Structures are given as C-alpha cells and as structure tokens.
Amino acid sequence: MSQDKCIVRLFFAKIKKEFVDLPDPEKNEFMIKDRANLDELGMKAISMIQCGDLDNEWDYIGVESWPSMEAIQKREDFENNVLEISKYVTYKTHLGIGQSFENYGKQ
C-alpha cells in the first residue's frame, strides 16, 4: 500500500490512575504485549505526541499507519478483549485515508 493511500488511525489517550498504580512488572508486561500486537499487525507509528504537560485533556496523541481495515479490527479486538484497555486508558480514535500535503497550495 503506498504511503498516500494508507489507512490512518488518529488516537487520543488519557492514562488512568489504575494504570499508574500497577506494579512496574505488570506495567511492563502490559506494554510488551501491546507492542508485540502492534508489530504483528503491521502498525507503523507516524507520530507520537506527549502532551500531558501542556494539555489537561490528553496525555498522548498518536498517528498510526495500518496495512488494512482487517488489521485495525484485529487491533481493536485485542485492545478490548486482551488488554482490556478501557480499564487503564480513556481514549478515542478516528480513521482516515492518508493524503499527501506536498502539493497543497502550490501552483
């Protein structure tokens, strides 16, 4: 899939106290499982923004590139049923198709 036709998932995340309070070994296990799934499904991070110091609503905003809608659906299933992510993070996501900005406003 070419870069200008990729499926993009934009996410906003606020870490809950339940995650902060997990013992370090449990946090590490969570993050290792999370990363392995992202890699397995072919997610490529476009940008990750840590905004907790400047934004009271969100701790992180991320932009991800995905190879297919099937991969995104598998990811959402993993987030809900394996990670049980809503216990630990308040979040929202938006999907779109990547667009080039290279020629915007140029003649």
For 11-67, write each residue's pLDDT tens digit.
Answer: 999 999 999 999 999 999 999 999 999 999 999 999 999 998 888 899 999 999 999
The model carries a pTM of 0.84
In a domain, 53, yes or no: yes
In a domain, 80, yes or no: yes
In a domain, 31, yes or no: yes
pLDDT at 5 over 80: no
Lowest mean pLDDT across 13-17, 69-73, 101-105: 101-105
DSSP 72: H
Residue 101 contacts residue 84 (beta carbons within 8 Å): no
Question: Binning pLDDT at 50, 70 and 90, where does residue 1 land?
Answer: very low
Total domain count, the chain: 1
Domain that holds residue 35: 24-97
In a domain, 4, yes or no: no
Q: Cα(93)–Cα(104) distance, rounded to whole angstroms?
A: 25
Amino acid identity for residue 68 in this structure: S
Q: Cα(89)–Cα(17) distance, rounded to whole angstroms?
A: 9
In a domain, 102, yes or no: no
In a domain, 87, yes or no: yes
DSSP SS3 for 82:
coil
At 98 the pLDDT is: 85
